[in-house]
Amino acid sequence: MKTVIVKSIFLFIIFSNQIFAKDFDDLFSITIEIQEESIEKYIDKAFNDLIFRLLGYEDFQKAKSIKANYNSEDFIKRYTLVSDDGSKFLKASFDEEIVMNQFIDNGISFIGRNRPVIFLDIKIDNGFSKPFKMESIPYKTKFESSIQRIFYDISEKRGLFFEFPQNTINLDKKDYFFENENYNEFDQYKFDYLDSVLISRSGINNWSISYKDQVSFFEGSDGIFERIKFLFNNLSTDYLSSFILDNAERTISISVSKVNSADKLDSLLDALDKMISIKEYSISSYKDSEISFSCIIYGTEDQFIESVKTHKDFLLEDFSAGLIQASLNSI
């Protein structure tokens, strides 16, 4: 359990040196398709998927250490079985406290809720219509909808964000690459990584996919789909690596202003409780609706600053060595 000491004051190619990561709220919830009624093995698979998501990469030895003398069922908080379009799914929620204690007690580094955003620039030339770039719209055609589904599945399994442009953006404009940081039209497209892919059809059933200087050729669209899965699973491992928090404990202070009601205090404490990078915190002072906390954190100071900067409940005001100034966002 996260230690909270409250004194008697209240009953997302690195494109930029900025981080635009987002919080993956359902970090400890896993949904997998099941094929039979016996669910024990699916709970085990779901827990393995959770370990994979928290590690950022596959490591069977570390997974074994985390399980130790436990069964996967021991980590589960609740689960439900649901049906959708003829398929059955297990939706499992795992106990954050028990899981994280196993990571920490075994000295295993992990990734918190703060996760990278990858912006997708995917151009398709199907040989029939004018080449186009995929957007964040639902596609009725099987080819495009299958590609979107691949990215959704990777996002859910790995715990990161893939974003397509909306149809209001002009992808050929120079400002698309954020050379003008104040160009408000593109504020919603802030991201950590940009990946450009060209998919081309060269015959009735012949396709190619180009990424950087790599070109692969396939007969049929299934090869294209498998290539995308392979490519972006590997890229996801690379992208997640810079978000891994080590187990070294550090102390940092954070002052949060605009905490002018009991409800806002509750919201603030709830936000701090959900930050996995915080081991424990205590209130060190409270004055004029500004509360200062002393926090023991996992990971580096820079990582913690970025997690505050990108947190939906905070507005980062300033920071210096060992001290962060922030205000409470409208909650």
Check residue 23 and give its pLDDT. 83
Q: Residue ranges per domain, the chain? A: 28-110, 117-241, 245-328
Closest among 154, 54, 46 to 92, alpha carbons compared: 46
In angstroms, what CA-CA distances link 130 with 204, 213, 224?
A: 16, 24, 20
Check residue 329 and give its pLDDT. 83
Q: What DSSP string describes 119-169?
A: EEEEEEE-SSS--EE--SS---SHHHHHHHHHHHHHHHHHT-EEEPPPTT-
Range 245-328 classified under CATH 3.30.70: yes
pTM of the model: 0.82
Q: Give every CB contact of residue 108 below 8 A, 6+ residues apart in sequence.
A: 55, 62, 65, 66, 102, 247
Rounded Cα distance between 253 and 308, Å, is: 12
Strand, coil or helix: 193: strand
Q: Beta partners for 323?
A: 253, 320
Check residue 69 and give its pLDDT. 85
Rounded Cα distance between 300 and 49, Å, is: 26
**Burial status of residue 320 (CB atoms within 10 A of its CB: 0-12, 13-18, 19 or more):** exposed
- 108 near 246, Cβ under 8 Å? no
pLDDT of the chain along its 331 residues, tens only?
A: 455 544 333 322 323 334 567 788 899 999 999 987 778 999 999 999 999 999 999 999 999 999 988 999 999 999 999 998 889 999 999 999 999 999 999 999 999 999 999 999 999 999 888 999 999 888 989 999 999 999 999 999 999 999 998 764 454 443 343 334 443 444 556 788 999 999 999 888 999 999 999 999 999 999 999 999 999 999 999 999 999 998 889 999 999 999 999 999 999 999 999 899 999 999 999 998 999 999 999 999 999 998 998 888 999 999 988 899 999 986 5
- 298 near 246, Cβ under 8 Å? yes
Closest among 133, 168, 129, 130 to 147, alpha carbons compared: 133
Check residue 322 and give its pLDDT. 87
Phi, psi of 213, rounded to the nearest 5 degrees: -100, 15
